[in-house]
Structure 1
């Protein structure tokens, strides 16, 4: 694929989030690179659509949307945090059979490797207990959830996303022919360093582990730093 083929950072949403979270990242993108957040039902402009509770149909939707957005040959870097990390992993496998799209690297953040079963669970708890558990394991609670009307609007999607991650079973554990960088917050109670390191098992290529200050949602305050890591790794892939 030509060195002039566009490079897109494709961002997959974490639990309860939407594309808008990643829009500020565009200001830190290097020349010739774009930030392309993908959308899932149940949030933002797709708020009236039923959210997915299963990663596989969600990946079907994301793949179709991505190919439509790209519209032709492209090089992509995939980034996903928490449930977004396993969505990115599944999407990377699907893209392996799409010859006009080259995946340069997968960034998997805040998630155990795909074959690890999730032991800290919130699915099935009553609303208050559910939010308490999610806040406990993520180390973060969005202020909008304290507003009753907004909470009522956001809760079904957050529940669906959490269930999608907790019930996730990988479609394959065949290693990707794509380099992987795995990231976590140093105080993450949901994902240990050992669980993060296991992402090395699902790639035939280079693996890098990065720990940044913060809890599970370190990403909220580290967007620029993460983008610098992505830019550095992307530059090494395109000049290798």
Structure 2
């Protein structure tokens, strides 16, 4: 039986451990989770965080190429991770590496303005306050002084990359793009998320899931069920 791979890109400041926890819980029935680890966190903590989108995509490409060579592959990313997944998908498409679908969660379409959060301008307390206000989510690690100092370099780097991001191309991807969005997302509107569908081939859609920008933090099961359904649909073709 062919293995369906779900290549997962984390949100700003997060690491692959987010998706490894999903894997341990066996949340998906129709895919093998393949977490992407950005430099500067977890087992790659000794490497500096990437300072540009181009550098970050180059870091992600070797795993993306290997995964796509092993079987049908879908890319999934949340928030900042959705943009990294999109740029990685564009590179794979340029190399004619087949991909089933891009699933972009909690993010405005790539060609729309990115939020400015002051990643390079504010002190730690001001920066953390801005993140909380913008995202509407208080990461537990930001309340622990030691953990905060470990998290902040990667979070600042990711949000700095996001602030300065411009898409490398507007070329339509040769596979569908599905957008996911929390019904109460205070950071991204439906008008900003819906244009993702135009970034790919026919078969894309906007799917609303109950909750805020970080809608899956309290209960990941609705997201897992949605991903499973999309992957099962791809498998049927």
TM-score by length of 2: 0.92
Q: What's the counterpart of residue 60 of structure 1?
A: 58
| Residue 156 (structure 1) aligned to one of 147, 153, 163 | 153
Distance 1:98 1:30 in 2: 29
Residues 219, 122 of structure 1: CA spacing in aligned structure 2 closer, same or farther, 3 A cutoff?
Answer: farther
| Residue 214 (structure 1) aligned to one of 208, 211, 214 | 211
Q: Is 2:117–2:127's contact at 8 Å kept on the other side of the alignment?
A: no
Q: What's the counterpart of residue 191 of structure 1?
A: 188
| Residue 173 (structure 2) aligned to one of 173, 176, 184 | 176
Three-state SS of the structure 2 residue aligned to 1:155 is: helix
What is the Cα deviation at residue 117 of structure 1?
Answer: 1.1
What is the Cα deviation at residue 168 of structure 1?
Answer: 0.9
Q: What's the counterpart of residue 47 of structure 1?
A: 45
What is the Cα deviation at residue 223 of structure 1?
Answer: 2.1
Distance 1:87 1:71 in 2: 17
CA RMSD of aligned residues (A): 1.7
Deviations 1:19-60 (A, max 9, x none): 1101232212215x2100011111101111110121111111
| Residue 117 (structure 2) aligned to one of 114, 121, 124 | 121
Three-state SS of the structure 1 residue aligned to 2:65 is: helix
What is the Cα deviation at residue 120 of structure 1?
Answer: 4.3
Distance 1:171 1:219 in 2: 29
TM-score by length of 1: 0.91
Three-state SS of the structure 2 residue aligned to 1:103 is: coil
Structure 1 residues 88-103: aligned runs within 5 Å? 88-99=85-96, 101-103=97-99
Three-state SS of the structure 2 residue aligned to 1:232 is: helix
Q: Is 2:65–2:92's contact at 8 Å kept on the other side of the alignment?
A: no
What is the Cα deviation at residue 202 of structure 1?
Answer: 1.1
Three-state SS of the structure 2 residue aligned to 1:5 is: coil
Q: What's the counterpart of residue 110 of structure 1?
A: 106
Q: What's the counterpart of residue 35 of structure 1?
A: 33
Instruction: Give unmatched runs, 5+ long, in structure 1.
Output: none
Distance 2:151 2:122 in 1: 16
Structure 1 residues 216-235: aligned runs within 5 Å? 216-235=213-232
Distance 2:148 2:99 in 1: 37
